[in-house]
Amino acid sequence: MTSSELASCNARFGDIRALSFSESDSGLVIVHVNTPLGRARVLLQGAQLLDWRPTGQSDVVWLSPLAQIAAGKSPRGGVPICWPWFGAHPSRADLPAHGFARSSPWELASAGVEDDQVQLTFCLLPVPDVSGVWPYRVSLEVSFTFGASLSIELRTRNSGGEPVQISEALHTYFAVGDVHDVRIEGLDGCTYIDKADGGLRKQQSGLVTFDGETDRAYLNTSRTCLLLDDGLKRKITIEKQGSRSTIVWNPGIEKSRQMPDLGESAYPGMVCIESGNVVDDQITLGPVEEHTLWVRYASSL
Ligand code: TA6
Q: Report the separation in Å between the CA atom of 147 and the middle of ligand 1, taken as the mean of its atom positions.
A: 28
Read off the pTM.
Answer: 0.97
> Tens of pLDDT along 168-193?
999 999 999 999 999 999 999 999 99
pLDDT of residue 1: 47
User: 162 catalytic, yes or no?
Assistant: no
Q: Which of 34-38, 93-97, 256-260 has the lowest mean pLDDT?
A: 93-97
Tell me, using a 6 A CB cutoff, whether residue 195 lines ligand 1: yes
| From 64, 208, 215, 218, mutation site for ligand 1 pocket: most ligand atoms within 8 A of C-beta | 215
Place 2 in a pLDDT band, splitting at 50, 70 and 90.
low
Place 3 in a pLDDT band, splitting at 50, 70 and 90.
confident
Please provide the average confidence, as pLDDT, over all residues in the chain: 96
Options 162, 168, 171, 239, the catalytic residue: 171
Rounded to an integer, the average pLDDT of 227-242 is 97
298 class by beta-carbon count within 10 Å (0-12 exposed, 13-18 middle, 19+ buried): middle
Tell me, using a 6 A CB cutoff, whether residue 153 lines ligand 1: no
